[in-house]
Amino acid sequence: MADQLPNTPILDELEKGTWPSFVKEIKLAAKNSPMSRDLLGLLEQSYEEKIGHWKHGGIVGVMGYGGGVIGRYSDLPEKYPNVSHFHTIRINQPSGWFYTSEALRTLCDIWDKHGSGLTNMHGSTGDIVFLGCRTEALEPIFSELTEAGFDLGGSGSDVRTPSCCVGPARCEWACYDTLALTYDLTMHYQDELHRPAFPYKFKFKMSGCPNDCVASIARSDMSIIGIWRDDIQINHDEVTKYAEGGMNIQRDVVGNCPGKCMDWDGKELKIENSYCRHCMHCINVMTKALRPGKDRGACVLLGSKAPIVEGALLSSVLIPFWKPKPPYTDLKDMVERMHDVWCEEGKARERIGEFIQRVGLGNFLEECEIDIAPEMVAHPRENPYIFYEEYYEEDDGEEDEDGE
């Protein structure tokens, strides 16, 4: 019978266990969606043969946009006609992923009507991801989405959908308004988001504090992480309560401080803040006793990426302390200068972090007119071979091989 689920002994293995299972979800959707039924058959065959059966569609999209749709076709269209086209749509999520249930229902209704009904909430960039529709459904989906107040996200060589942690909306550690900055950047970079013009993708991620709940330091070209520059706030009474409650402050807090800047004499907790590395460990452990300082802002870092052309990179410091103030013109001006240099000199598929590695951080900073700061040195106490041109005098060049 056409409506019966295909026989999928290999996929069924992935339903076992207590964790969520995408196979379970596809089977659920398959009750109403022929696309999901064929998807099960195609996947089972892929698992059996250990071969992917998707072809990349490079030209599908909606009129006027260069991003937001990732084209997929199956190479077995006769056998699985309902997944012959299986395009993915990325939709710009609201900052911090806050929805009303009405908004979620609207999204689901649009998707049930035009696509497979399968979603991924959310993709790794942060977007709402609609999985699987035909080419001719793209424009109707797009127009219904825009009518409901949604827009497509980024894909390809463009600014990818900016994303952020819940920030001050729900979290007391937020050192700046991640939601406001994310919304502002999203609106400001609409052109760059929908019309790819870069050598490769460019991601912004905003985290309210160094806990970095959106992993911006590893997953965005520009990571904007909340930070404070004064002293950690200590409530000594609460510290005492933690000690009385049985917490081993010496072992679990002081002993794990990477800055080795905490001292606990059994009565009083002291922090040498000039050595604090802002790792959040102590604050996370003693939530009632410690808080970030009061002079809050953000550290702007640049360059992280997952391994594709080159290996993985973490972002490194660009602006050690920045006070985010709407309309954030100072940040946008700097980003524009960086984009100009990268667009001018970057190779195809070269992320900005790789570009900096190729041309050298010093040259990059000079071209972008960004002041050099000691915090840019990744390992300040470990590498003595760092110097800057203006401090480099003729005589210094006449070193022997031992550098003396």
Interacting residues toward ligand SF4 by CB under 6 A: 165-167, 171, 173-174, 207-209, 211-213, 226, 257-259, 261-262, 271, 276-282
Contact with another protein (CB under 8 A) among 200, 202, 242, 322: 200
Q: Which one, 75 or 272, has the nearer CB to another protein?
A: 75
Q: Which one, 12 or 231, has the nearer CB to ligand SF4?
A: 231
Pairing of strands 115-121, 233-234: unpaired
CA pair distance 47, 77, nearest whole angstrom: 18
Applying CB under 8 A, which part among 44-52, 107-115, 139-147, 155-163 lies near another protein?
Answer: 155-163
Phi-psi region of 72 (alpha: psi -120 to 50; beta: other; left: phi over 0): beta
Contact with another protein (CB under 8 A) among 10, 121, 187, 197: 197
Q: Which one, 115 or 126, has the nearer CB to ligand SF4?
A: 126
Contact with another protein (CB under 8 A) among 9, 17, 20, 64: 64
How buried is 210 (Cβ within 10 angstroms: 0-12 exposed, 13-18 middle, 19+ buried)? buried
Contact with another protein (CB under 8 A) among 196, 210, 292, 353: 196
Site string for another protein, 117-136 (x = CB under 8 A): ------------------x-
User: Under the criterion CB under 8 A, does residue 51 sit at the interface with another protein?
Assistant: no
User: Under the criterion CB under 8 A, does residue 307 sit at the interface with another protein?
Assistant: no
74: closest CA among 87, 65, 83, 82?
83
User: Under the criterion CB under 8 A, does residue 316 sit at the interface with another protein?
Assistant: no
Q: Does an H or E element contain 186, and which?
A: helix 178-188
Beta bridge partners of residue 337, listed in sequence order: none
CA pair distance 130, 144, nearest whole angstrom: 14
Beta bridge partners of residue 262, listed in sequence order: 271
Amino acid present at 99 = Y
Contact with another protein (CB under 8 A) among 77, 140, 320, 362: 77
Q: How many residues does the chain have?
A: 404
Q: Which one, 228 or 342, has the nearer CB to another protein?
A: 342
Site for another protein in 83-102 (CB under 8 A): 84-85
Amino acid present at 358 = R
3-state secondary structure string across 130-161: EEEECHHHHHHHHHHHHHCCCCECCCCCCECC
User: Under the criterion CB under 8 A, does residue 66 sit at the interface with another protein?
Assistant: yes
Q: Which one, 190 or 248, has the nearer CB to another protein?
A: 190
231: closest CA among 192, 275, 182?
275
Q: Which does 195 bind (CB under 5 to 8 A by kind): another protein, ligand SF4, none?
A: another protein
Q: Which one, 60 or 166, has the nearer CB to ligand SF4?
A: 166
Angle between helices 352-359 and 329-345 (to 10 degrees): 70
Answer whether 44's CB lies under 8 Å from 6's CB: yes
Q: Which does 349 bind (CB under 5 to 8 A by kind): another protein, ligand SF4, none?
A: another protein
CB of 271 to ligand SF4, least distance (A): 5
User: Under the criterion CB under 8 A, does residue 53 sit at the interface with another protein?
Assistant: no
207: closest CA among 160, 258, 168?
168
Q: Which one, 242 or 342, has the nearer CB to another protein?
A: 342
CB of 200 to another protein, least distance (A): 7
Q: Which one, 312 or 343, has the nearer CB to another protein?
A: 343
Answer whether 164's CB lies under 8 Å from 178's CB: yes
Burial of 363-376, coded b for 16+ CB within 10 Å and e otherwise, reads: ebbebbebeeeeeb
Answer whether 225's CB lies under 8 Å from 216's CB: yes
Applying CB under 8 A, which part among 45-53, 67-75, 107-115, 279-287 lies near another protein?
Answer: 67-75
User: Under the criterion CB under 8 A, does residue 46 sit at the interface with another protein?
Assistant: no
Contact with another protein (CB under 8 A) among 6, 34, 57, 320: 57
376: closest CA among 295, 330, 293, 315?
315
Q: Which parts of this chain interact with another protein (CB under 8 A)?
A: 55-59, 61, 63-67, 70-71, 73-74, 77, 84-85, 135, 155-158, 191, 195-200, 340, 343, 348-349
